[in-house]
Structure 1
Amino acid sequence: MHNSTSSGRPARHRSARNWLLAAASALIVALAGLWQLAPAGAQQQGGFQIDGTQLVDANGEPFVMRGTSHPEVWFQQEFESIAEISDLGANTIRVVLGSGERDWGVTTPDRLRTIVDECKAQQVICVLEVHDTTGYGEQEGAASLDQAVDFWEGMYDVLDGEEAYTLINIGNEPWGNEDTAGWTQATVDAIERMRDIGFEHTLVVDAPNWGQDWEQIMLDDAEQVFAADQDANTLFSIHMYAVYSDPQTVVDYLDAFEAKGLPLIIGEYGDVFQGESVPWDTVQAEAQERGIGWIAWSYSGNSDGELDQVLDFDPGQMTTWGERVFDSRYGIGNTAERASVFGDQPPETTTPPDETTSPDDPTTTPGGEGDCSAEIDVVNDWGSGWQGDVTVAADQGDLSGWTLTWTWPGGQSISSHWNADLNQSGSQVTAGDVGWNGSIADGESRRVFGFIADNGAASPEVTCSAA
């Protein structure tokens, strides 16, 4: 492993930064008195930061990740998955990238820029990770953390200025089960190099032992690793699979890390691993109780399908694991909150999904007439429950907001919903926009929110009123 001084590589942007610091020193002194007169809270952060054990966004608001992973580098043709995952209510997507050391391909700067733009358009925070490091020291061909930093160095121009919307997961599971003591110094070196390059993002570091830290190296050395970050802006990530098959092991690890007073997320977990059950419900419940973020693995595309949340990247084919991630008591639909940095209106998407509903779609029923109309589309029905998506069309002029009402025909009940202010009383349902999804141009339609319900799929007539 090499750090920035022993590798002989120039520390990019370092000289420019030093010049700027020197040139600005007089200004800092001159403005010191005025700075002291600024009211408390007037300082603005440029991106995500760590505050004790809490991740906070650029507005200083706590942000708790609720999301899933998308294997982007292996399935670049499934770009619409970002929008689909957002529509399912996730506030975070962990995006799998390739640095080129493995045979699954390399993510280019142009591709990364497109990914970041789409995440912003879909109002999800991107956790960007290099996957080539997986199992380093044990798996042949795995990249070192130093090689991962080489990749990030080449992406600096893409990511500079995106600190409010992206976190950098330096390397996925960057150490196997051999010679694991080397993880600590390699991680320290990687953090220091990232800061020398100029990155001001929150950095995410995965544990050794294929991310599961069963030797508790990350747990024991967390203070040393955190101290290496001159910005005090490093977030630790534990992956929970078969090592945590007993619910008590989940509780014990989270208790031990909490005692450190350092920030932690559950960067991956599943409900099974190689046929062995994983206590996913304990993971979710404990994370909710402690305010810890989690990112489930993974949306689709696993070689054996064991941990696919939807089949064939089709949100209409949700698996049992997908229901647990998105629809369970502490799942995404019931606990995810968008990052405050998105405000009331989302940025424009460069590659928007097709949100126009075909009039020939047999699963939809036209809504009421007036300034707007709406339809409920049954997108998934698994017997014990079903998922509906709602589309609103602006029929007479631009919409700045909308309110929908409908009556269930057969005792249906909504158990969770996202992207709407919704209330149900008996069979009567009222739903309104949440600000950013209220604006629809004249003559256009937009998929605005979704929900999970039971007692049989239905597409009742919907009355839409302009707000």
Structure 2
Amino acid sequence: MRRRVASLGAAVFALLLSMFVVIPTAHAEAGFQVNDGRLYDANGQEFVIRGVSHPHTWFTSETTRSLADIKSLGANTVRIVLSSGDQWTENSTADVANVVSQCKANRLICMLEVHDTTGYGEQAAAVSLDRAVDYWLRIQDAVIGEEDYVLVNIGNEPYGNTDYAGWGADTSAAINRLRDAGFDHTLVVDGPNWGQDWSGTMRSQAPEVFASDPHANTVFSIHMYGVYDTAAEIEDYLHHFVDQGLPIIVGEFGHNHSDGDPDEDTIMATTEDLGLGYIGWSWSGNGSPVEYLDMVHGFDGDSLTPWGERIFHGADGIAQTSREASVFGGGSDTTAPTTPGTPSVSAVSASSVTLTWAPSTDDVGVTGYQVVRVAGGQETAAISTPTNSAIVGGLSPDTDYTFAVYARDAAGNRSARSATTTVTTESGPAAGSCAVTYRVSGEWNGGFQAEVTIRNTGTSPVDGWTLGWSYLDGQTVTNVWGGVATQTGDTVTVRSVDYTAAIPVGGSVSFGFLGSWTGANSAPSAFTLNDGSCTQG
């Protein structure tokens, strides 16, 4: 449910503000527009952002599949990390144009942001908003004419925790340079203090900054991490902007952070209640010590992390609340797809099942399905797929699982849930039917590379596996190829991917990974495969 909040204080503030600041009227251009504190798309339909950030500039080869997966999980917006060339390799005009094209092909609104400004004034390598504008002018050809589909986030977290008092003046100057150059897009501006505005600088200077935009088309973005660890702080900040009729989104947030534990439940509930947008950080690729902010393992849209499960499928999450922008042709559709057929089991192993179901139909077209596990009346996401079949992996052997399916259409509508199917996975390999070789192939100060080989010494082929071990010295797995890893404390589990899932009798598969260590880096002393113990060697 959404509500608009008004107060006598807001009316008094508006009256006082009008005595000193001339609020510009909305600019009559095509594209997204702000009106009365709300964001509207080019068709005049209110648009509420529900999206995630994707680190394009550091992982350009992952963008194509990532955008498709982000869309399949229900997002309507993707925030794309770009570099101006000041800290990382500059994203060229052609590269940015290609990203915009891919966003449109996936029916995603594209919010582009320059990351090199992060922590300016405190972070030595960071650059000013003025430098970010220089970059926007260099790549202008990639975004001019795309106002219906592109939001311009001028610079990420443009001040750290020092010398941030000039945030308002510098932000206004950046806005006006872009307007003078012909940028008619909705502009998005981040707060200072590493985006969290704990000083209240953006909160107090926002009216003047908004008034400085001759197009009246600027949206404020607050990043909510450890500073926003209570419901009162979150609600107070967001209500303050809504009460003044100023546009605000939560442009970044997570479920945890090194500076504290943000209250993601309140962030998501309050934005939904007030009809405000949110963008989670981030799809994948986070490095130490914030790997837990990855929403999927290794850019694999079929392997959601706990944070990914929460933001996509939890209460007030993306799957539940996202609606596609009407500029893609389906925004006015409110009819959900027909209910998918009951899933049937076409294959089962100790760690995976293959499900198929009769497809749904829809007026504007079914864009994908979500398979959920059902246990104790609660749902958790298992997999998203564009077709009416799915392989669900990462399961435990000899265990009962219950599955159901939802369909989603191009407008973001979700069908009723299908009937459920319960299946029992096969037994795992007997103890002693596998052998594992763990080899450190390279080691340096604080880091190492390892290779693990699994041999099937039993009498039955393995079709899908989960390998487990515990470290003795506190090592951390940071990047895996040939598998998907999760780690809780010292315990590591790696599950197979498509090309490593099958281990014939007498055969073997290998995967590798990077890790970090301090003090010592001894090898694990024991391994389990699908809950059965393995010998070493």
Q: So what's the TM-score if we normalise by structure 1?
A: 0.70
- Aligned equivalent of 2:532: none
Letter of the 1:87 counterpart: S
Distance 1:388 1:170, change over 3 A: closer
- Aligned equivalent of 1:100: 85
Letter of the 1:387 counterpart: I
Distance in structure 2 (CA, Å) of the matches to 1:226 and 1:275: 30
User: Could you say what secondary structure the match of 2:286 adopts?
Assistant: coil
- Aligned equivalent of 1:343: 329
Q: Any conservation in 1 of the 2:41–2:325 contact (CA below 8 Å)?
A: yes
1:422 is the counterpart of 2:395: no
Cα shift at 1:271: 0.8
1:387 is the counterpart of 2:383: yes
Distance in structure 2 (CA, Å) of the matches to 1:202 and 1:309: 27
Distance in structure 2 (CA, Å) of the matches to 1:84 and 1:285: 24
Cα shift at 1:227: 1.0
Distance in structure 1 (CA, Å) of the matches to 2:315 and 2:406: 9
Distance in structure 2 (CA, Å) of the matches to 1:47 and 1:154: 21
Q: Any conservation in 2 of the 1:318–1:380 contact (CA below 8 Å)?
A: no
Q: Which has the higher contact order (CA 8 A, sep 6+)?
A: 1
Distance 1:365 1:377, change over 3 A: farther
Distance 1:110 1:360, change over 3 A: farther
- Aligned equivalent of 2:251: 267
Distance 1:306 1:189, change over 3 A: same
Distance in structure 2 (CA, Å) of the matches to 1:187 and 1:141: 19
Q: Any conservation in 1 of the 2:302–2:384 contact (CA below 8 Å)?
A: no
Q: Any conservation in 1 of the 2:374–2:402 contact (CA below 8 Å)?
A: no
1:76 is the counterpart of 2:57: no
Distance in structure 2 (CA, Å) of the matches to 1:263 and 1:281: 21
Distance in structure 2 (CA, Å) of the matches to 1:121 and 1:360: 33
Letter of the 1:422 counterpart: S
State which of 106, 130, 135 in structure 1 corresponds to 2:114. 130
Distance in structure 2 (CA, Å) of the matches to 1:159 and 1:88: 26
Letter of the 1:309 counterpart: M
Q: Any conservation in 2 of the 1:138–1:176 contact (CA below 8 Å)?
A: yes
Distance 1:110 1:425, change over 3 A: closer
Cα deviation code 1:207-230 (max 9, x no counterpart):
001111111111101111011110
Q: Percent identity?
A: 45
Q: Any conservation in 2 of the 1:316–1:380 contact (CA below 8 Å)?
A: no
The residue correspondences of 1:214-363 to structure 2 (distance < 5 A) are: 214-274=198-258, 276-304=260-288, 305-344=291-330
Letter of the 1:327 counterpart: H
Letter of the 2:69 counterpart: E
Distance 1:258 1:378, change over 3 A: closer
Instruction: Give the paired residue count.
Output: 353
Q: So what's the TM-score if we normalise by structure 2?
A: 0.61
- Aligned equivalent of 1:86: 71
Distance in structure 2 (CA, Å) of the matches to 1:182 and 1:377: 48
User: Could you say what secondary structure the match of 1:306 adopts?
Assistant: helix
User: Could you say what secondary structure the match of 1:422 adopts?
Assistant: coil
- Aligned equivalent of 1:190: 174
Letter of the 1:202 counterpart: T
Q: Any conservation in 1 of the 2:71–2:107 contact (CA below 8 Å)?
A: yes
Distance 1:204 1:287, change over 3 A: same
Distance in structure 1 (CA, Å) of the matches to 2:407 and 2:357: 22
Cα shift at 1:255: 1.8
Distance 1:378 1:329, change over 3 A: closer
Q: Any conservation in 1 of the 2:372–2:404 contact (CA below 8 Å)?
A: no
User: Could you say what secondary structure the match of 1:175 adopts?
Assistant: coil
User: Could you say what secondary structure the match of 2:184 adopts?
Assistant: coil
- Aligned equivalent of 1:199: 183
- Over the residues paired in the alignment, what is the CA RMSD in angstroms? 3.0
User: Could you say what secondary structure the match of 1:276 adopts?
Assistant: coil
- Whichever of the two has the greater Rg, that structure is 2
Q: Whose helix fraction is larger, Structure 1's or Structure 2's? A: 1
Distance in structure 1 (CA, Å) of the matches to 2:418 and 2:225: 41
Cα shift at 1:415: 7.4
User: Could you say what secondary structure the match of 1:184 adopts?
Assistant: helix
Cα deviation code 1:345-370 (max 9, x no counterpart):
9xxxxxxxxxxxxx99985456679x
Distance in structure 2 (CA, Å) of the matches to 1:232 and 1:44: 10
- Aligned equivalent of 2:394: none
Letter of the 1:168 counterpart: V
Letter of the 1:258 counterpart: V
Distance in structure 1 (CA, Å) of the matches to 2:384 and 2:120: 43
Cα shift at 1:331: 0.3
Distance 1:365 1:334, change over 3 A: closer
- Aligned equivalent of 1:57: 41
Cα shift at 1:424: 4.0
Q: Any conservation in 1 of the 2:227–2:260 contact (CA below 8 Å)?
A: no
Cα deviation code 1:40-82 (max 9, x no counterpart):
xxx9851000011100000000000000000000011102111
The more displaced of 61-70 and 418-427 is 418-427
Distance in structure 2 (CA, Å) of the matches to 1:71 and 1:425: 35
Cα deviation code 1:425-444 (max 9, x no counterpart):
7559xxxxxxxxxxxxxxxx
Distance 1:266 1:426, change over 3 A: same
Distance 1:264 1:171, change over 3 A: same
Letter of the 1:266 counterpart: V
Distance in structure 2 (CA, Å) of the matches to 1:325 and 1:422: 19
Cα shift at 1:105: 1.3
Q: Whose strand fraction is larger, Structure 1's or Structure 2's? A: 2
Cα shift at 1:258: 1.8
Cα deviation code 1:6-65 (max 9, x no counterpart):
xxxxxxxxxxxxxxxxxxxxxxxxxxxxxxxxxxxxx98510000111000000000000
Cα deviation code 1:90-113 (max 9, x no counterpart):
0000000000110x2110001001
- In structure 1, the gaps of 5 or more residues are 1-42, 346-358, 394-408, 429-467
Cα shift at 1:248: 1.1
- In structure 2, the gaps of 5 or more residues are 1-26, 332-345, 360-365, 390-399, 422-537
Q: Any conservation in 2 of the 1:88–1:418 contact (CA below 8 Å)?
A: no
Cα shift at 1:204: 0.3
- Aligned equivalent of 1:113: 97
Letter of the 1:92 counterpart: T
Cα shift at 1:329: 1.4
User: Could you say what secondary structure the match of 1:215 adopts?
Assistant: coil
Distance 1:390 1:149, change over 3 A: closer
Distance in structure 2 (CA, Å) of the matches to 1:100 and 1:132: 8
Cα deviation code 1:297-317 (max 9, x no counterpart):
000111021201111111122
Distance 1:421 1:292, change over 3 A: closer
Distance in structure 2 (CA, Å) of the matches to 1:378 and 1:61: 27
Q: Any conservation in 2 of the 1:333–1:418 contact (CA below 8 Å)?
A: no
The more displaced of 254-263 and 206-215 is 254-263
1:171 is the counterpart of 2:155: yes
